[in-house]
Amino acid sequence: MFLILEGKNRMENNKLLKIENLKMHIKTYMGTVKAVDGVNIDINRGEIVGIVGESGSGKSLTSRTILKLLPEGGEVVSGKILFHNKDLLKLNDNELRNIRGSKISFIFQNPSTFLNPVLKIGDQIAENILLHQKIDKKEIKNIIISVLSDVGLRNPDKIINCFPHQLSGGMQQRVMIAMAISCKPDLIIADECTTALDVTTQLQILDLLKNISKKTNISILLITHNLAVVSYLCSRVYVMFEGKTIESGESKNFFSRPQHEYTKKLLNASKQIENSKFYSNHEINKILNIENLNKNFNLPGSNEPLKAVNDLSFSLNEGEIFGIAGESGSGKTTVANLLMGLLEVNSGKITFINKEINQYLKYEKKNFRKNIQMVFQDPYGSLNPRKTIGTTLSLAIKIHFKLSEDEIKNKVFELLEKVELTPPEVFYERHPHELSGGQQQRVAIARAISTEPKLIISDEAVASLDMSIRSEILKLLKKINIETKVSMIMISHDLSVLKNMCNRIAIMHLGKIVEIGDKEKILGSPQHNYTKKLISATLEIPN
Amino acid sequence: MIKILKNINKFKNFWKIFKQNKIGVVGLIILLIFIVLAIFAPLFATFPPLTTGAGEAFLNPSFKHLLGTDNLGRDLYSELLYGARITLLVSFIAVITSTVVGVFLGAIAGYYGGIVDSLLMRITEMFLVIPPIFLALVLVAIFGANIINIIIVISILSWPQTSRLVRAEILSLKERPYCKAAIASGASDFKIIFSELVPNTMTTIIVNMSLTQATAILIESALSFLGFGDSSMVSWGLMLNNAQEFFRQSWYMVFFPGIGIFLVVLSLNLFGEGLNDVFNPRRKK
Amino acid sequence: MNYNYLAKRTLQIIPVVLGILVMSFLMIQLAPGDVVFMFIGESGADPEFEAQIRKRLGLDKSVLEQLILYLKGVLTGDLGKSFVMNESVSKIIWDRALPTIILMSSSIIFGAVFGILIGVYAATKPYSLRDNVSMVIALFLYSLPNFWLGQMLIIVFSVNWGILPVSGMESMILGDKSFLMDRLTHLLLPTITLGSTLGAFVMRFVRASMIEALGQDYILTAKSKGLSDGKIFFKHALKNALLPVVTYIGLRLGYMLSGAVVIESVFGWPGLGLLMLDALFERDYPLIMGLFIVISLSVTIITFIIDILYTYLDPRIRLK
């Protein structure tokens, strides 16, 4: 049995976990991937430490390697993981299982898929406790109830008998946390545990973790790609890139004085985008006018229809970049689909370039389609996987312009150059899977501008991209707006994205616009309660 | 010209991966053997089809009669070869027609949804609850048991499955952003369905064709076995029907036609598996 | 109890039921040759007599009226009278139903158990030898023409070795065997023949379902809690994986009945399949259509019940 964890050693030792030069490689049929390639991390008692990095940096895999939860084909090649001065990598399976869930436990990203859908909540938590501690079955219920209330859940006695799908995302994550702390571990590893949550719920969960750590002196290792989260919660930070820890430091110094080139790049990308000049037209032309827009959805198994868009009104000027901010469920994507004519309106009027959209769709469909385009959130999904980039980009041009084959090809080349995909001849022949996420999104933008539209809607166009790519894409969009004077509607759940792109911003909540106005006014002196809540929940990196 | 070269290249790539899949290759080889035997049956056979009295009845396999003879003295080896023709031809035509119909209906239903979709779903559900042989028997009893009817009947039985598959794929594909982008580009519905979406279901359709043909062969043989096939033509099922009475005299009357059906069906299923592995690769150790 | 789902499913099967009834009606109408000639023969007959028969059979009314009469009849259990046997179709079917029910039940149980056991076994080590062998066995089994399998089994076990009966459901003379043993030995080969195809499909399905369950995120959570592999396999994955098997078997019912017809023919099993074949040979249209309707509707109803059962088993649907 694992004796070292009991007894006096605990009190004397402040250093909880020490990862020394960890290397973990994954053998795939395409070769060996050096997923973790030299990681050094220290965690002390009661500390909250963060690992930050973009996708592919190896941060998640590092955390899982600590407890040898290796993926298919994964193998630890070298290094040590010292937990209370004992190397975890040298333990046998039995000893490892004793530590898992009891001394070191995990919280994962998406609680709805990480909880077993056919087992009751109480059962899943009890399982953990009974596995590691000798507790009388009669006592179990009380312990679970107390741990559920510790994580801030009301009616824990009812929740015990619930199944995961009966709870909201935030509640499910609290259950996961409850499961993690149920055996009073020394260390909790939280892997992107708030990424799938709403901004406001995210804040609540982070605060919960902060309190738990303070109260019980549990250390937390927080894995995330979000620098703002790290600065909010962690006392120390490690930056990972290509499987290595390249920089570390105290949170407060770290953000003001980054050392490594990559860290600097990361921070710059997260911070504000260049405050370049907006296009402003002296004659203000209204290009889009929305009056009392309503859209309901009929939910299966419910009598009340869901009011996705509820009495919405706003207008858009030519050349303007208009932002719509809101959390998931606010109705912002529905608005986009309504504007595009992909969904039918229940009631209300949408006037686009002096004509109602209904009229357009009936009589001038082609003209309508030419003038309004969209860029979507999922870059890979936006492109037909079986067609080359060239074919995809030619599609809209063929429909709206009468040009010869060669002329079309040249136009496509022009477009590729405009979105900075050079040399265009090469990209013309490629298939989507051969391009990176950022490149795919550039193609999507190229497609959007190919019809020379008057309005481009960007629906979370950068949400799926890495931080460093994000700013490049936003810069590209800004450039297009300035050069071609195309109006834009930018939809995002992240106010920091909208911060320097938009002239005006509307805040949406539960289908309504709760506040709308010039960017400075909204962000500087918000009036509505929800706006205030949204702004404060949007974590910022300190200057 | 470039397009042809591109396609040849695609095929080369496909073959490179397919080659590695032993199951699929075995299936393909067996299938090709039977196709060759069927096409060149007159060349390989030693007697014309349905020649009674080619030899004495119930002879064991010998040099003259490679697989023996049946109760009427027909050479089993020759009968088997000619039977292969019917088996492969009927099933192949049935598969082609049912696939075309199934893809068309499934794609339209999946894309437009609403009443069209509900209608298709109810119709395919009907075919799911009606036992295929029952329906086939009733239709053949009403309309007659000739080869054209049998092909039509098998096609009727096979299209619902294909259409369900295609419908399901189209349903999920139409939610993809590139479909919405195509709509936004102003492409016509027809172009979107058949130029953007259906090509992305080709892999599923092709695998399904292989498996559908296997099922078609089983249905056709079952019909012949029960006595409802086209009795003017040699069919493996019919041979097995004939053999029912003569278990005690000759087990090879039962064995060889059955093995024939089994091997062809097996080869199609193996080939389908191989194709599936190429198109939807799983992680291998 | 999720009443919404129940209501929705009920609404869905009504058109299917109607569709089947209308379809069978149409098939009768489309039958070439006038049904009446069954009674008066090809030789011409007294036109008055002909008119009488038409009236008796209801053929003098419009097609639509005939359809409504027909539907009324079916829904009240009147399926007409057999041309050949001079009894009501309903009674004939009722008398011959039991053997088929017995055969189907035993085959389903055999196939399901066999398939689940091997499917789970294969999933314990995916892509390993045991897995590949199991899947090849499954492939072979569902590629076999089931009637041929039946014939071969008879040749080996009954003709050559003589340990099992050749055909039928019971022996004429019991001899020294007990009643139950006699029935069971007769049931054995047909069950194995009919059940093996189902077993093959269930095997593949269960294996795929298990592998999918094992790849889910909650398995990683279970591992991170320190649960042993065995516990994870049987407590976390298996429950999730076996749920859809119930529905899957329901989906295969139609195909199984299809196979039952053929198997009954091979083994001389005196059930509805054999009855159907006799009716077809004798062109006994009322019986043919009656069987068609009864069988199709039975499958519809059983599938419906299985669906409802599934909603009770899956907590995600049971509690909304």
- pLDDT tens track for C74-93: 777 777 777 677 778 888 88
> To probe the interface with C, which of A114, A165, A179, A181 has the most C CB atoms within 10 Å?
A114
Say which of A72, A381, A396 has its CB closest to residue B283: A72
Q: Tell me, what's the pLDDT at A9?
A: 46
Closest C-alpha to B131, from A352, C257, A529, A99: C257
CA distances to A42, A307, B193 from A45, rounded to whole Å, are 10, 49, 60
Chains with 3+ CB–CB pairs under 8 A to C are A, B
Q: Tell me, what's the pLDDT at C255?
A: 93
> For residue B128, which residues of chain C lie inside 8 Å, CB to CB?
251, 254, 303
Q: CB–CB of C143 and B262 under 8 A?
A: yes
pLDDT in tens, C270-300: 999 999 999 888 888 788 888 998 999 999 9
**Quick check: ipTM above 0.90?**
no
Closest C-alpha to A100, from B127, C296, C224, C213: C224
Query: Cα–Cα distance between A338 and A308 in angstroms, integer?
Result: 11
Q: CB–CB of B129 and C254 under 8 A?
A: yes
Amino acid at site A317: N
Residue A423: is the preceding peptide bond cis (ω within 30°)? yes
Structure tokens of A208? Answer: 């919960």
Q: CB–CB of A340 and B199 under 8 A?
A: no
Say which of B182, B187, B200 has its CB closest to residue A386: B200
Q: Which residue has the tokens 């109705």?
A: A331
> For residue A342, which residues of chain B lie inside 8 Å, CB to CB?
180, 183-184
Identify whether the C-beta of residue B200 lies closer than 8 Å to the C-beta of residue B182. Answer: no
CA distances to C29, C117, C253, C270 from C37, rounded to whole Å, are 14, 56, 37, 30
Query: Cα–Cα distance between B236 and B42 in angstroms, integer?
Result: 17
Say which of B129, B251, B284 has its CB closest to residue C155: B251
Which DSSP state fits C87? S
Position with higher pLDDT, C141 vs A255: C141
Query: Cα–Cα distance between B76 and C233 in angstroms, integer?
Result: 52
Chains with 3+ CB–CB pairs under 8 A to B are A, C
> For residue A376, which residues of chain B lie inside 8 Å, CB to CB?
177, 180-181
pLDDT in tens, C6-45: 888 888 888 898 888 888 888 877 766 555 555 445 445 5
Q: Choose the weakest-confidence range: A10-14, B267-271, C31-35, C247-251.
A: A10-14
Query: Cα–Cα distance between C135 and C286 in angstroms, integer?
Result: 44
**pLDDT category, C253, cuts 50, 70, 90?**
very high
Identify whether the C-beta of residue B57 lies closer than 8 Å to the C-beta of residue B69. Answer: yes
Nearest chain C Cα to B239, which residue? C148
**pLDDT category, B224, cuts 50, 70, 90?**
very high
Q: Tell me, what's the pLDDT at B283?
A: 47
> For residue C228, which residues of chain A lie inside 8 Å, CB to CB?
97
Q: Choose the weakest-confidence range: A248-257, B274-283, C114-123.
A: B274-283
Q: Which residue has the tokens 């399904």?
A: B208
Q: Tell me, what's the pLDDT at C169?
A: 74
Q: What is the mean pLDDT of chain C?
A: 84
> To probe the interface with A, which of C1, C3, C225 has the most A CB atoms within 10 Å?
C225
Query: What part of B 91-130 touches C (C-beta under 8 Å)?
Result: 122-123, 125-126, 128-130
Q: CB–CB of B134 and C257 under 8 A?
A: yes
Residues facing A107 on adjacent strands: A190
Q: CB–CB of C239 and A119 under 8 A?
A: yes
**Sequence-ordered list of residues with C-beta below 8 angstroms from that of C4, at least 6 positions apart, any chain:** A300, A301, C320
Closest-CA distance of chain A to residue C112, Å: 22
Q: What is the mean pLDDT of residues B150-172?
A: 94
Q: CB–CB of B254 and C15 under 8 A?
A: no
Q: What is the mean pLDDT of chain A?
A: 86
Q: CB–CB of C261 and B226 under 8 A?
A: yes
pLDDT in tens, A163-177: 999 998 889 999 999
What are the phi and psi torsion angles at A270 (to 5°)?
-75, -30
Q: Tell me, what's the pLDDT at A299?
A: 77
> For residue A444, which residues of chain B lie inside 8 Å, CB to CB?
177, 181
Q: Choose the weakest-confidence range: A267-271, A384-388, A454-458, C52-56.
A: C52-56
Q: What is the mean pLDDT of chain B?
A: 88
Residue spans of alpha helices (H) in C126-216: 129-143, 146-153, 179-214
Q: CB–CB of B141 and C299 under 8 A?
A: no
Percent of chain A past pLDDT 90, that is, above it, reads 41
Closest-CA distance of chain B to residue A304, Å: 21
Closest C-alpha to A330, from A204, A125, A506, A117: A506
**Sequence-ordered list of residues with C-beta below 8 angstroms from that of A135, at least 6 positions apart, any chain:** A129, A143
**pLDDT category, C57, cuts 50, 70, 90?**
low
Closest-CA distance of chain A to residue B177, Å: 4
> To probe the interface with B, which of C14, C16, C210 has the most B CB atoms within 10 Å?
C16
Closest-CA distance of chain A to residue C1, Å: 13
Query: Cα–Cα distance between C233 and C210 in angstroms, integer?
Result: 9
Q: CB–CB of B178 and A400 under 8 A?
A: no
Nearest chain B Cα to C283, which residue? B141
Structure tokens of A475? Answer: 């810069």
Closest-CA distance of chain B to residue C144, Å: 5
Say which of B126, B130, B254 has its CB closest to residue C155: B254
Which DSSP state fits A374? E
> To probe the interface with A, which of C214, C221, C243, C246 has the most A CB atoms within 10 Å?
C221
Query: Cα–Cα distance between B227 and B238 in angstroms, integer?
Result: 7
Query: Cα–Cα distance between A367 and A322 in angstroms, integer?
Result: 23
Closest-CA distance of chain C to residue A521, Å: 43
> For residue A381, which residues of chain B lie inside 8 Å, CB to CB?
176-178
Q: CB–CB of A370 and B186 under 8 A?
A: yes
> For residue A371, which residues of chain B lie inside 8 Å, CB to CB?
none
Please provide the distance, in angstroms rounded to a whole number, between the alpha carbons at the two ends of chain B: 40
Q: Tell me, what's the pLDDT at A223?
A: 94
**Sequence-ordered list of residues with C-beta below 8 angstroms from that of A73, at least 6 positions apart, any chain:** A26, A27, A28, B285
Query: What part of B 140-199 touches C (C-beta under 8 Å)?
Result: 141-144
Burial class (CB in 10 A: 0-12, 13-18, 19+), A121: buried
Q: What is the mean pLDDT of residues A41-47?
A: 92
The answer to whether residue A394 scores a pLDDT higher than 80 is yes
pTM for the whole thing?
Answer: 0.85
> For residue A378, which residues of chain B lie inside 8 Å, CB to CB?
177
Percent of chain C past pLDDT 70, that is, above it, reads 86
Q: What is the mean pLDDT of residues A328-346?
A: 88
Q: Tell me, what's the pLDDT at A301?
A: 64
pLDDT in tens, C199-225: 999 999 999 999 999 999 999 999 999
Q: Tell me, what's the pLDDT at B284?
A: 45
Q: CB–CB of C224 and A69 under 8 A?
A: yes
